[in-house]
């Protein structure tokens, strides 16, 4: 298995699938098959959720339909459009902020969308694909263009495809695709006894 500067270098053994996942800015000019794309969303479908509510939904566009692709691309902030326009697939992750059964607020809605998108991302990694998630979208534009109902929050963008050549990127983005990813040590986020006191796991 070849390695890449972006592959994780964990302090403890973890699954190779986790070490190979990263979020490129450069995407190759290569389409994602319909079968692969369906499997990615099938993986999202089987994510855990509070009360099995499954509050997530995705709007999807591929370059096979240029008009739809441009419409979804326009829902990203300008800085993300610069690189995401090269991806063969774009999606918007949305979540219902209320329980369908009761109408009460669902405090886990955003968390559950994250779980679904993580499942999608790891299924992509298995298939040699990459997903770059982004919070930089224009929610009200998405709401207007796609008639997203009240109570449903358009939250994240996803660029999906095969990793491309970083040399095609603007300089600042090119560097991001080539440098190693820093991570906090466990002692900075796994606590025991009280907040800020490192648990005995490091």
Residue 1 predicted with pLDDT over 70: no
- Give strand pairing partners of 60: 91
Cα torsion angle, 147, 75, 117, 67, sign? positive
Residue 154's nearest CA partner among 162, 164, 144 is: 144
Q: Are the beta carbons of 182 and 23 closer than 8 angstroms?
A: no
Residue 2 predicted with pLDDT over 80: no
Q: Where are the domains of the chain?
A: 16-180
Provide the phi-psi class of 104: left if phi over 0, else alpha when psi is between -120 and 50, else beta: beta
Helix (H), strand (E) counts: the chain: 7, 4
Share the mean pLDDT of the chain. Answer: 96
Provide the phi-psi class of 18: left if phi over 0, else alpha when psi is between -120 and 50, else beta: alpha
Cα torsion angle, 175, 176, 181, 184, sign? positive
Q: Which residue has the tokens 């994250």?
A: 114
- Tens of pLDDT, residue by residue over 108-158, are 999 999 999 999 999 999 999 999 999 999 999 999 999 999 999 999 999
Residue 177 predicted with pLDDT over 70: yes
pLDDT grade for 3, boundaries at 50, 70 and 90: confident
Please give the share of the chain, as a percent, with pLDDT higher than 90.
Answer: 91
* Fold annotation for 16-180: NADH Oxidase (3.40.109)
pTM, full prediction: 0.95
Task: Count the Cβ atoms, other than its own, within 10 Å of residue 28.
Answer: 16
pLDDT grade for 202, boundaries at 50, 70 and 90: low
């Amino acid at each position: 298995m070849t390695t890449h500067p972006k592959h994780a270098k964990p302090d403890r053994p973890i699954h190779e699938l986790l070490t190979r996942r990263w979020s490129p800015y450069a995407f190759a000019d290569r389409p994602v098959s319909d079968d692969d794309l369906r499997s990615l969303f099938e993986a999202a479908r089987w994510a855990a959720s509070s009360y099995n509510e499954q509050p997530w939904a995705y709007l999807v566009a591929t370059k096979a339909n240029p008009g739809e692709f441009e419409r979804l691309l326009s829902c990203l902030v300008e800085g993300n459009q610069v690189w995401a326009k090269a991806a063969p697939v774009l999606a918007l992750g949305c979540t219902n902020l209320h329980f369908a059964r009761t109408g009460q607020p669902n405090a886990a809605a955003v968390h559950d969308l994250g779980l679904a998108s993580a499942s999608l991302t790891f299924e992509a990694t298995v298939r040699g694909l990459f997903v770059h998630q982004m919070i930089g979208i224009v929610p009200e534009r998405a709401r207007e263009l796609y008639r997203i109902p009240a109570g449903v929050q358009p939250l994240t963008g996803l660029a999906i495809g095969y990793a491309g050549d970083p040399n095609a990127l603007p300089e600042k983005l090119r560097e991001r695709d080539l440098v190693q990813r820093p991570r906090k040590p466990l002692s900075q986020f796994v606590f025991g006894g009280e907040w800020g006191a490192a648990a005995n796991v490091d």
